[in-house]
Structure 1
Amino acid sequence: MKLQQLRLEQIRQFRDPLLLGDLQPGINLIHGPNESGKSTLVRAIRAAFFERHRSKSVEDLRPWGDSAAVPTVELAFEHNQRSWRLTKSFLQRKRCDLVVDGTSYSGDEAEEKLAALLGYQLPQKGASKEQHWGVPGLLWVEQGTGQDIERAVEHAGDHLKSALNNLVGEVASSGGDEVIQEIEQQRGELLTGTGKPRGEYLQLEKDQQQLQEEIAVLDDRIRQYQEQVDRLGRLTDEYEKARRERPWDQALRNLERARERYRQVEVLQQQQARDKEALQYVQQSLALLRQNQEQLQSQNRKLQQREADLQKARQQLAREEARAEPLQTAVEQARAVYDAAGKALERARQQEARQRLVQDIARLQAQHQSLSLSLEKAGEFQRKLDEARKQKQQNRIDGGTVQQLRKTRRELDEETIRSRAIATRLSWELDPGKSLRLNGQQISEQGEERLLEDSTLSIPGFGSLGITPGGEDLARARRSLQRLEQRLSDELAALGVASLEEAEQRLVRFQEADRQLNHLEDLLKSVAPNGIDRLTSEYDDTGIELEKRRVEQAGLPSTPGPEAETAPGKTEAESTVRHAEAALTNAEDARTRHEKSVLTARQDCDNARREWQQLKDELEGTERQQQLQQLAGELAAAEQRKAGLEGTLQERDHEIQRTRPDLIRLDIERYQRAAETQQQAQQNRERELRDIRVRLEAWGAEGLEEQRNDKAAELEHHHRRYQELHRRARALDLLLNLLTEKRQALTRRLQAPLQKHLDHYLSVLFPDATLEVDENLMPGRFTRGNELGQMSELSFGAREQMGLISRLAYADLLLEAGRPTLIILDDTLVHSDMGRLEGMKRILFDAARRHQILLFTCHPEHWQDLGVEPRDLEALKGQTVSG
């Protein structure tokens, strides 16, 4: 198929006719900048073939704002030495005319003939979609879709397979498909796609497994039944033997004897505990008696010690009384020095107070004067501030509203300019002395007027002319002017001004007053940070404080000049006072400590004398002698009682150890457990006997062996049916595999012609690479050296290149099968680097020897070495096209 010329009219931006003629059999390079109409040309070609002429879904072809347009496409092409001419119109005048070597077709007949020729489908209703496009959808690449080839191949798959059928003849015959489908259907009744059982086959497998499990359960219950019968016999013998012999009675008798022996031991242990308590009491009494004896014997030593302590106390008292007079003299001297230092400090403080008052008076006078000046300035600033507030209030206006007013005025000016540009222009040049009237106003000499509304031109002596400006844009502009003028009037009224200039002047005055107000507020804060009232209060307080300082100065005593000059300073006087006070304090502390020492020594002397006399009187009395004799007798009796208790305890302890009470306790526990265990064992036998009898009666009523025989027969029946279906499934699966392998071999023979063309182009770009196609003729696995992956995993640019190579291979396949081919590329390969782009140019140049290629681009500089003359779309627009 060789497209010779394309003519379109009233399609999108091409309101005037555009002719793209003299198209070459090979590559045709059409270039133009963005929005120049390249995609519109591609859309026009697609609409001419894909869209039904009566379709209402082609509104995108209509030029903007032209409801009366009739989008028209005319195509002339040659195929199999026959001339074809197609003319198709949409929307207002729906037509489709096709002329093939003088034979005419029209309407649906013409469209169906084209669809059959190129290998696509027409939609039943609505717009044509991707699934309808078939072979052209594969070979005509829209902008930005070069890398997406899977769906295009899927939609063109039937036409591609038909072409392969023509090439390989009966090899591609689908006569065996019905057999494979029938076998797949029968196999699908028994097996899933992964070869697992399904349907009755799966149910039989589950039933067989369930029956086997039920039989296993019954076998286990039968085995348990037999075991329980044996267990019943053994347990009955054990129960009867224990009931006759009663072995637990002997254990109970042994338990009672062991408890009696332990009670006897407990009596001995209680006696032993009482005697131990008595021995402990005797030992405590003996220790107290010995302590009392020791205390009585130590009284003589205490009397000698107390006499020595009395002599020491008398000597210490004499020493302390001798130190009293020097300490009193030191105190009186220190007090005299302290009194003199105090008087000097008082004079220094009065002098410092006098100087401080002089400084305070000078400071307060300066502060009072400064506050007076600040108060005066603050008053002046406050008056100006009130005037600025009044000025701001008088000129108050909203800045945002003024800004909106400016915007409205600017929009009105722009709309006025725009309306004047599209308005009906009336110009005149009259002879001297002649005049006309336009809308009631006289015009003369020469001039010009832009008319937006209906106007009347009166010609004296002839009548009047009515002028009605036309066009939808003009009416829209007139309405927009009216709306903007009304909005401007409303905004002026809202601001209370007559014009934008007046509003801006008021805004300037308002902003100036606001700035002045802020400045004056800052000035007022600088002289009166806390307000004028606070400043006035500070001024009055300073005056009162100044007068108070002057009164204090007058009340200070005067000091003679020479004495004031030689008097020490306050700091020196305070230091002298501190030293004198420390010395006085030390002297008084020393005297106080001495007085305490004297009192302590006198008290110690009195206490020592009293204690010595008291102890002496006690030792010389008769009562003490009697106490010593009584104490000696009590000690002897306690020693004798202790010896008797120790002997008794030792003998009884030997007797208790011989009886071994720990072993007796173990015997009691052992005999008790033995009796309980034997009784519990007999009870357990009795309970187990009852349970076994009940269980055996229940199992015997169930007929376990009969159930097991029924289940075994049912299992045998299921097993025979399962084996039958199992053999059938294996046979069908084997047969399907054999047929599928044969079919795949045929498919590989079908793929061979397409693979040949793919390898031809791919070797130019990647000499060591292969691109395989699957049984649906879809490009899939891409291999390059040691790299292996799917085509969809390549980079965007590489997928775009592989997509174009695949399309060219499909075109070669179709051409070899005698099918028409036309390749349209809209801004393709834009993501290719320069090295890859060079290889793709070679591929395109090679393909152009067999196919016609329409290459649209906005980068003609990338295709300068393609070997074809580029055609400028902008230049084509300026050419006159005749009908």
Structure 2
Amino acid sequence: MKLRRLQVEQLRQFRQPFVLDDLQPGLNLIHGPNESGKSTLVRAIRAAFFERYRTSSVDDLRPWGDSAAAPTITLDFDAQQKSWHLVKSFLQRKRCDLKIDSDSYSEDEAEEKLAELLGFQFSAKGVSKPEHWGVPGLLWVEQGTGQNIEQAVEHAGDHLKSALNSLVGEVASTGGDELIEQVKARWSDLFTPTGKPRGDYQKLEKEREEHQQEIDELQARIQKYQEQVDRLGKLTQDYERTQHERPWEEAERQLEQAKERYRQVEKLEQQQAREKETLTHLQNNQQLLRQNQEQLQSLNKKLDVRKTELDKAQRELEQAEARTPSIAGKVQEAKAAYEAAAKQVDQARLQETRSRLEQDIRRLEQHNHTLTQNLDKARQYQQELEQAREQSRQNQINAKAVKALKNTEHQLKEENIRSQTIATRLTWQLEPGVRLALNEELLEGQGERQLLEESSLVVPGVGTLGITPGGEDLASTQRKLSTLGQGLAEQMKTLGVDSVQQAEHRVVAYEAAERTLQHTRELLKSVAPVGIEQLLADQKETQSQLQKAKTELENSPVPEPGQQLQVTDVASAEAGRAQAETRLAEAEAEERKHQTELLTRRQTRDNAKSEWQQLQDEVQNPEHQKQLQKLSKELAEIEDKRARLETTLQAREQEIQQARPAILRQDIERYQRSISTLRQTQEERQRELRDIQVRLEAWGAEGLEEQRNDKVAELEQCNRRYQELDRRARALDLLLILLTEKRQALTRRLQAPLQKHLDHYLSLLFPQATLEVDEHLRPGTFTRGTELGQIAELSFGAREQMGLISRLAYADLLREAGRPTLVILDDTLVHSDTDRLDDMKRILFDAANRHQILLFTCHPEKWSDLGVPPRDIQAMKEQGSANLV
């Protein structure tokens, strides 16, 4: 199929006729900027073929704002070695005329001829949809849809398969498909789509499992029954033997023997503890007696020591008394120096007080002067503030209302201008002395009036002419003028002004007054932050403090004559006094320390003398010797008792250790546990015997073996039914696999011509790569080297390239089968990089040798090396407009 000429008229932006002719049988590059009409031309071609001429659902073809338009498309093309001429109009002039060589067709018959030629369908109702487009929907690529290939192939699938069948000889139309469907239907009775059993097959399989599970449970219970019978026999034998032997009684006898032995050992331990306490008491008495003996024997040594200490204390006391006069003289000198320094401090403080008062007086006088100046300024600023506030109050106006007033005035002016433009214009030029009357207004000479409402013109001697301005716009404008005039008057009345200029003047005056008011407030705040009243109070307070300072200066004493030259600053005087005070304190501390030392020396001498005298009297006392003899005799008796008691304790301790009391306690605990364990074990054995007997009686009543035999019979019957269905299911499954494999082989044979064209184009873009198609002829698995995946997993640009390659392969297949082809590409391959775009140009140039390709683009610079002259839509539109002029 070769498109030779396209003409559109009253279609979207092409209000005037636009012709695209001289189209070449191969590549045609048509370019223009955005909104120049490229997509409109593509839409026109689609509408000419796909849309019913009588449909009312193509308002998108109508030029904007033109409800009376009749979009018309004219196409001239060659197909099936014949010349075709198509004219189709929509909306206001619905018509379809088709001429094939000398044969003419119209209306529905013409549209059916087009659908039969290109392989598409018409929508039964409304606008055409992608599912109706068939082969053209596959080969005509809209802007931004080049990567979407699957649905387009699905919609054109029947036409593609028909073309393949014509090439390979009706391979796909054998009775195999019907047989496969029959096998699938029977297979589906037994299996789910995922291959799992269903229906009776699933039910029998589930019953088999349930019967087998019940048999396994019964067998387990029978085995448990037999185990319980064996357990009952063993338990009965163990219970009777233990009941006869009664081993816990022997353990009780051994427990009593162990307790008796342990009680004897406890008596020995108690006796041992008592005698150990006695030994401890003897050892304590022996130690006290020895201490008393040593104390009596040490009195003579203590007497000599006390005599030495007495002599030393006497010497130290005499030395301390000799230093008393020197220390008293130092204290007197320090007191005199401190009194002189204190007097110097008093004079310095007096002088500092007078200096401070004089400085305060000067400071307060300066502050009082500043307050007086600030008070004068504050009163001036207060007066200016009142004036600014009065000015603001007089000119206060709502700025937003003034803005709205200006807007209303602006609208009124625009409406006046518009009314002058559309109003009926009356001009006159009368002879001298001739007069006319317009609405009772006399007109003479020459002049002009614009009439917005119905008027009457009286011509003397002729009659009255009625003038009625026409058009709804004029009446609407007049009403709007009246409304705006009333609104303007009401707004000025509300604002209390006579004009907009007066309102603007008041806004400016009000804003200036507000700025002055703010500036004056800031000035007043700078001299009187908290108000004039506070400023007056501060001035009064300052004057009071000034008078008080002057009074204090007059009443303060004058420094003594002759002392003013000696007086230093207070800090130096106080430092001198502090030094004198420190020396006085040191002298007094030394004197106190000396007096303390004298008292201590005297006390030490007196204590030493008293202790020496007491020891001497005690040593010379006759009772002292008697006490020494008595202590020696008592110590000898205690030593003898201690030796005998230690021998007895050692022998008893050996006897206790040989009895091993810890082991005896463990024996008692062991026998007690053994008795408890033996009795508890026998009781548990008796309880278990009762439980097993009750359980066996219950199981015996259930007839477990009879139940198992019944279930085994049911399982065998279920197995027979299941095996019948299972053989049938496996046979159907095998048959379906064989038929499917045969069908796939036929499909591969059917796909071979298409695969050949795909491999041709793919080798130009991806050498050594393969692209397989599925049984529905859709591009599927893409393989390149070790990479394997689906087209949908590629990048956007790669998917767009693979989509175009696939469409060109389908076009080759259709051409080979003798079907008409036309490839239309609207701004495609915009996401391709430079290298891939070069490869795609080679592919397009190769395909153009077999098909006519219309390539629309807004980037002509990218296609400058395509080998064909570009067609500029914008230039053609301008040339067409010039021809019309």
TM-score, normalised to structure 2, is 0.89
Q: Which residue of 2 aligns with 1:872?
A: 873
Q: Distance in 2 between matches of 1:442 and 1:90?
A: 59
| Deviations 1:61-90 (CA, angstroms, capped at 9, x unpaired) | 333333444444444444324454444444
Residues 232-631 of structure 1 aligned to structure 2 (within 5 Å): 232-403=232-403, 419=418, 423=422, 426=425, 430=429, 456=455, 458=457, 460=459, 461=462, 463-464=464-465, 466=467, 468-470=469-471, 495-559=495-559, 563-621=563-621, 627-628=627-628, 630-631=630-631
Give the letter aligned to residue 250 of structure 2.
Answer: Q
Q: Distance in 2 between matches of 1:719 and 1:353?
A: 129
CA-CA distance at 1:177 after TM superposition: 0.9
| Deviations 1:432-475 (CA, angstroms, capped at 9, x unpaired) | 76888888878888888888x55557473464464555478x88
Q: Distance in 2 between matches of 1:490 and 1:76?
A: 69
Q: Distance in 1 between matches of 2:665 and 2:559?
A: 112
Mean Cα displacement is larger for which, 280-289 or 196-205?
Answer: 196-205
Instruction: Give the conservation status (yes or no) of the 8 Å contact 2:419–2:478.
Output: no
Q: Distance in 2 between matches of 1:706 and 1:854?
A: 88
Q: 1:62–1:464: structure 2 CA closer, same or farther, 3 Å change rule?
A: farther
Q: Unpaired runs of 5+ in structure 2?
A: none
CA-CA distance at 1:879 after TM superposition: 4.5
Mean Cα displacement is larger for which, 665-674 or 782-791?
Answer: 782-791
Q: 1:241–1:287: structure 2 CA closer, same or farther, 3 Å change rule?
A: same
Q: Which residue of 1 aligns with 2:49?
A: 49
Q: 1:666–1:159: structure 2 CA closer, same or farther, 3 Å change rule?
A: same
Provide the secondary structure at the position in 2 that maps to 1:120.
coil
* Alignment pair present for 1:757 and 2:757: yes
Instruction: Give the conservation status (yes or no) of the 8 Å contact 1:2–1:78.
Output: yes
Q: Distance in 1 between matches of 2:211 and 2:471?
A: 95
Q: Which residue of 2 aligns with 1:737?
A: 737
Give the letter aligned to residue 790 of structure 2.
Answer: Q
Instruction: Give the conservation status (yes or no) of the 8 Å contact 1:248–1:679.
Output: yes
Q: 1:441–1:770: structure 2 CA closer, same or farther, 3 Å change rule?
A: farther
| Deviations 1:672-691 (CA, angstroms, capped at 9, x unpaired) | 33333332332233222222
* Alignment pair present for 1:818 and 2:818: yes
CA-CA distance at 1:109 after TM superposition: 4.4
Instruction: Give the conservation status (yes or no) of the 8 Å contact 1:341–1:577.
Output: yes
| Deviations 1:259-290 (CA, angstroms, capped at 9, x unpaired) | 22221222222211222222222222222232
Q: Distance in 1 between matches of 2:842 and 2:420?
A: 53
Give the letter aligned to residue 233 of structure 1.
Answer: G
| Deviations 1:809-835 (CA, angstroms, capped at 9, x unpaired) | 222222332333333222223333454
Q: Which residue of 1 aligns with 2:114?
A: 114
Instruction: Give the conservation status (yes or no) of the 8 Å contact 1:307–1:612.
Output: yes
Q: 1:498–1:48: structure 2 CA closer, same or farther, 3 Å change rule?
A: farther
Provide the secondary structure at the position in 2 that maps to 1:52.
coil
Q: Distance in 1 between matches of 2:338 and 2:619?
A: 59
* Alignment pair present for 1:682 and 2:686: no
Mean Cα displacement is larger for which, 559-568 or 48-57?
Answer: 559-568
Mean Cα displacement is larger for which, 304-313 or 256-265?
Answer: 304-313
Instruction: Give the conservation status (yes or no) of the 8 Å contact 2:826–2:855.
Output: yes
| Deviations 1:67-122 (CA, angstroms, capped at 9, x unpaired) | 44444444444432445444444444544444555655555444444333322222
Q: How many residues align?
A: 879
Instruction: Give the conservation status (yes or no) of the 8 Å contact 1:411–1:484.
Output: yes
* Alignment pair present for 1:34 and 2:46: no
Give the letter aligned to residue 541 of structure 1.
Answer: E
CA-CA distance at 1:788 after TM superposition: 4.2
Instruction: Give the conservation status (yes or no) of the 8 Å contact 1:860–1:870.
Output: no
Q: Distance in 1 between matches of 2:241 and 2:727?
A: 64
Q: Which residue of 2 aligns with 1:60?
A: 60
Q: Which residue of 2 aligns with 1:178?
A: 178
Give the letter aligned to residue 778 of structure 2.
Answer: M
Mean Cα displacement is larger for which, 136-145 or 23-32?
Answer: 23-32
Mean Cα displacement is larger for which, 635-644 or 319-328?
Answer: 635-644
Residues 199-218 of structure 1 aligned to structure 2 (within 5 Å): 199-218=199-218
Q: Unpaired runs of 5+ in structure 1?
A: none
| Deviations 1:285-304 (CA, angstroms, capped at 9, x unpaired) | 22223223333333343343
Q: Distance in 1 between matches of 2:696 and 2:811?
A: 87
Calculate percent identity across the aligned residue pairs: 58
Q: 1:329–1:444: structure 2 CA closer, same or farther, 3 Å change rule?
A: farther
Q: Which residue of 1 aligns with 2:847?
A: 847
Instruction: Give the conservation status (yes or no) of the 8 Å contact 1:143–1:827.
Output: yes
* Alignment pair present for 1:664 and 2:647: no
Q: Which residue of 2 aligns with 1:162?
A: 162
Mean Cα displacement is larger for which, 602-611 or 126-135?
Answer: 602-611
CA-CA distance at 1:796 after TM superposition: 2.8
Instruction: Give the conservation status (yes or no) of the 8 Å contact 1:423–1:469.
Output: no
Instruction: Give the conservation status (yes or no) of the 8 Å contact 1:17–1:881.
Output: no
Mean Cα displacement is larger for which, 5-14 or 239-248?
Answer: 5-14
CA-CA distance at 1:203 after TM superposition: 3.6
Provide the secondary structure at the position in 2 that maps to 1:242.
helix
CA-CA distance at 1:376 after TM superposition: 1.4
Provide the secondary structure at the position in 2 that maps to 1:564.
coil
Q: Which residue of 2 aligns with 1:806?
A: 806
Q: Distance in 2 between matches of 1:353 and 1:526?
A: 35
CA-CA distance at 1:594 after TM superposition: 1.2
Give the letter aligned to residue 756 of structure 1.
Answer: K
Q: Distance in 2 between matches of 1:348 and 1:338?
A: 15
Q: Distance in 2 between matches of 1:229 and 1:834?
A: 91
Q: Distance in 2 between matches of 1:558 and 1:670?
A: 112
* Alignment pair present for 1:191 and 2:188: no
Q: Which residue of 2 aligns with 1:11?
A: 11
Give the letter aligned to residue 647 of structure 2.
Answer: G
Provide the secondary structure at the position in 1 that maps to 2:169.
helix
CA-CA distance at 1:146 after TM superposition: 1.9
Give the letter aligned to residue 185 of structure 1.
Answer: A
Q: Distance in 1 between matches of 2:191 and 2:698?
A: 45
* Alignment pair present for 1:715 and 2:715: yes
Instruction: Give the conservation status (yes or no) of the 8 Å contact 1:375–1:535.
Output: yes
TM-score, normalised to structure 1, is 0.90
Q: Distance in 2 between matches of 1:475 and 1:844?
A: 63
Mean Cα displacement is larger for which, 362-371 or 111-120?
Answer: 111-120
Q: 1:331–1:210: structure 2 CA closer, same or farther, 3 Å change rule?
A: same
* Alignment pair present for 1:695 and 2:692: no
Q: Distance in 2 between matches of 1:584 and 1:797?
A: 106
CA-CA distance at 1:566 after TM superposition: 4.8
Give the letter aligned to residue 259 of structure 1.
Answer: K
Instruction: Give the conservation status (yes or no) of the 8 Å contact 1:18–1:881.
Output: no
Instruction: Give the conservation status (yes or no) of the 8 Å contact 1:2–1:822.
Output: yes
CA-CA distance at 1:179 after TM superposition: 0.8
Provide the secondary structure at the position in 2 that maps to 1:870.
strand
Q: 1:323–1:723: structure 2 CA closer, same or farther, 3 Å change rule?
A: same
Q: Distance in 1 between matches of 2:768 and 2:486?
A: 76
Instruction: Give the conservation status (yes or no) of the 8 Å contact 2:37–2:873.
Output: no
Q: Distance in 2 between matches of 1:422 and 1:112?
A: 55
Q: Distance in 2 between matches of 1:250 and 1:612?
A: 83
Mean Cα displacement is larger for which, 532-541 or 403-412?
Answer: 403-412
Q: Which residue of 2 aligns with 1:781?
A: 781
Q: Distance in 1 between matches of 2:685 and 2:437?
A: 139
Q: Distance in 1 between matches of 2:841 and 2:476?
A: 52
Q: 1:486–1:296: structure 2 CA closer, same or farther, 3 Å change rule?
A: farther
CA-CA distance at 1:197 after TM superposition: 3.5
- Two-structure CA RMSD over aligned residues (Å): 3.5
Provide the secondary structure at the position in 1 that maps to 2:824.
strand
Mean Cα displacement is larger for which, 271-280 or 453-462?
Answer: 453-462
Q: Distance in 1 between matches of 2:788 and 2:448?
A: 78
Q: 1:340–1:681: structure 2 CA closer, same or farther, 3 Å change rule?
A: closer
Q: 1:812–1:459: structure 2 CA closer, same or farther, 3 Å change rule?
A: farther
